[in-house]
């Protein structure tokens, strides 16, 4: 009979004070520079409450330094801390979520270990931090505060306790996962993945981000697309100025409603879902002005339907456009799925689905191990992925050749 997991209720040294001035920050920098071993790092954002993805609390823990909770609003430049930890391995859970907001405040790791990605590669079915800590270490983390408004000041004590506990066991989890990956013969694969994350450049800003408005599939005509764009950009400016989440200014569903209806005046706009009784006259006028601007655009300035496609078309269109490519994709997907199952890992971690699509749409002129390996590397696959996936993809691409 397995033992019930132990609830983790308090940080080992209690809840540390929040660092909110330069003198206290300098002490933390010195303490963490003098610590030993990897450093656990986490950040809390206020997604859904504030504009953008900035950090509102940074938590760290390192052997010899204990746990630190830092307020990046009061201390917006943490580059001295980042430099003090340069060359040290940073342990993060789902690193790609936290790295952009850490980069903004001057914290960029040169080496990292991602416990979520390690869990995926090791074949764990549930890879959230709580599930991993429970399954691997036998402790239950209290997860009640993950979606709160971390821009609140002062931060309530229960939230600070939760934040400190989030880094309490990260290094222990890292050590256990390293052993498990080594046991499965996957440690080198994981290290290559972590290197790729640490060395990746910051993401480029999205082109035409308004096209990601939820419900866009209903909007077909170019004039309606122009209304979505105009309302989205107006909302974005207001949200940025007020520092609130855009969805709190105007829901996506309301933008799509207005685009489909093309209201002729404020009264018609007010009758639509999302623009009801709680929207003030001035706000209605600004939304209607955005609709009117879109309606007044000359044809040549209206957005084109669909985003400019780079790479292959959506797979559902392949059977009509290129039946041979569709057959290659079907064979390649089946081969990758089978290999991923043998290796006990999600297929998207074995090889990116986009890479498989690109290779199947436009395979090398001569398909062999050398050309497929080169193509995979060209699409950004890591050496371990190229080595494992090349044989099965060569087989899939030459199946009926």
Residue 112: closest CA among 39, 59, 61, 44: 39
Q: Where are the beta strands (DSSP E) in 17-169?
A: 18-19, 36-45, 55-63, 66-70, 89-92, 111-114, 139-141
Dmax (CA) for the chain in angstroms is 73
For strands 139-141 and 6-8, give the pairing. Answer: parallel
| Residues in contact with 362: Cβ distance below 8 Å, sequence separation at least 6, in sequence order | 312
pLDDT band at 310 (very low <50, low <70, confident <90, very high): confident
Phi then psi for residue 75, to 5 deg, are -125, 80
Residue 280 has pLDDT above 80, yes or no: yes
Please report the pLDDT score of residue 336 as a whole number: 98
Average pLDDT, the chain: 95
pLDDT value for 208: 93
Hey, CA dihedral for 345, 347, 352, 355, is it positive or negative? positive
Q: How does residue 145 score in pLDDT terms, banded at 50, 70 and 90?
A: confident
Residue 308 clears pLDDT 80, i.e. is over it = no
Q: 391 in helix, strand or coil?
A: helix
Give the neighbor-by-neighbor strand order of the sheet with 18-19: 18-19, 66-70, 55-63, 36-45, 89-92, 111-114
pLDDT band at 306 (very low <50, low <70, confident <90, very high): confident
Residue 144 has pLDDT above 90, yes or no: no
pLDDT of residue 309: 62
Per-residue b or e along 125-149, where b marks 16 or more CB atoms closer than 10 Å to that residue's CB: eebbbeebbbebbebebeeebeebe
| Both structure tokens of 53 | 């993805």
**Nearest-angstrom CA–CA distance, 62 and 171:** 8
| Per-residue DSSP letter, 363 | -
pLDDT one-digit tens code per residue, 152-190: 999 999 999 999 999 999 999 999 999 999 999 999 999
pLDDT for 307: 66
**Res 204 pLDDT > 60:** yes
Instruction: Report, in this order, helix, strand and coil percent for the chain, each rounded to 5.
Output: 55, 10, 35
Q: Which among 68, 178, 170 is positioned nearest to 129, based on CA atoms? A: 170
Tell whether pTM > 0.85. Answer: yes
Which residues, 6 or more positions from 394, have their beta carbon under 8 angstroms from its beta carbon?
A: 367, 368, 369, 372
Span 109-138, average pLDDT: 97
Question: How many Cβ atoms sit within 10 Å of the Cβ of residue 151?
Answer: 17
Confidence of residue 3 (pLDDT cuts 50, 70, 90): confident
- Report helix, strand or coil for 270: helix
pLDDT grade for 69, boundaries at 50, 70 and 90: very high
Q: Which residues, at least 6 apart from 280, have a Cβ–Cβ distance to it below 8 Å?
A: none
**Region for 13 from its dihedrals, namely left if φ exceeds 0, alpha if ψ lies in -120 to 50, beta otherwise:** alpha
Alpha helices in 35-94 (DSSP H): 79-84
With contact defined as beta carbons under 8 Å apart, do 163 and 19 qualify? no
HSE at residue 318, side-chain half, CA atoms within 13 A, is 19
pLDDT digits (tens, 9 = 90+) for 284-296: 999 999 999 999 9
Percent of the chain with pLDDT over 90: 89
Strands 89-92 and 36-45: parallel
**Per-residue pLDDT, 30:** 98
| Predicted local confidence at residue 155, as pLDDT | 96
């Amino acid at each position: 009979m397995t033992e019930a997991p132990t609830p983790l209720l308090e940080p080992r040294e209690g809840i540390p004070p929040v660092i909110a001035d330069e003198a206290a920050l300098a002490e933390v920098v010195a303490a963490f520079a003098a610590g030993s071993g990897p450093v656990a790092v986490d950040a809390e954002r206020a997604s859904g409450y504030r504009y953008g993805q900035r950090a509102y609390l940074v938590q760290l823990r390192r052997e010899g330094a204990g746990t630190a909770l830092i307020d990046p609003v009061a201390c917006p430049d943490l580059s001295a801390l980042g430099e003090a930890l340069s060359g040290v391995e940073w342990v993060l859970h789902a690193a790609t979520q936290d790295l952009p907001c850490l980069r903004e405040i001057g914290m960029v790791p040169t080496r990292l270990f991602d416990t979520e990605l390690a869990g995926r590669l090791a074949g764990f079915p549930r890879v959230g931090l709580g599930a991993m800590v429970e399954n691997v270490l036998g402790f239950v983390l209290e997860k009640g505060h993950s979606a709160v408004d971390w821009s609140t000041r002062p931060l309530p004590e229960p939230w600070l306790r939760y934040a400190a506990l989030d880094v309490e066991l990260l290094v222990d989890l890292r050590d256990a996962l390293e052993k498990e990956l080594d046991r499965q013969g996957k440690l080198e694969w994981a290290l290559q993945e972590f290197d790729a994350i640490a060395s990746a450049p910051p993401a480029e800003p999205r082109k035409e981000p308004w096209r990601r408005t939820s419900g866009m599939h209903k909007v077909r005509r170019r004039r309606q697309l122009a209304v979505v764009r105009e309302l989205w950009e107006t909302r974005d400016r207001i949200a940025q100025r007020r520092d609130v989440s855009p969805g709190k200014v105007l829901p996506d569903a309301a933008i799509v409603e207005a685009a489909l209806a093309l209201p002729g005046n404020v009264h018609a706009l007010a009758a639509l879902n999302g623009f009801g009784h709680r929207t003030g006259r001035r706000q209605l006028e600004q939304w209607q002005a955005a609709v009117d601007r879109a309606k007044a655009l000359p044809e040549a300035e209206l957005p084109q339907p669909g985003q400019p496609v780079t790479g292959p078309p959506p797979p559902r269109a392949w059977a009509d456009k290129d039946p041979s490519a569709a057959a290659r994709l079907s064979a390649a997907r089946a081969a990758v799925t089978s290999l991923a199952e043998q290796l006990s890992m999600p297929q998207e971690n074995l090889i990116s689905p986009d890479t498989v699509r690109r290779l199947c749409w436009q395979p090398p002129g001569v398909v062999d191990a050398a050309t497929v390996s080169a193509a995979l590397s060209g699409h950004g696959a890591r050496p371990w992925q190229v080595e494992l996936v090349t044989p099965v993809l060569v087989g899939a691409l030459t199946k009926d050749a």
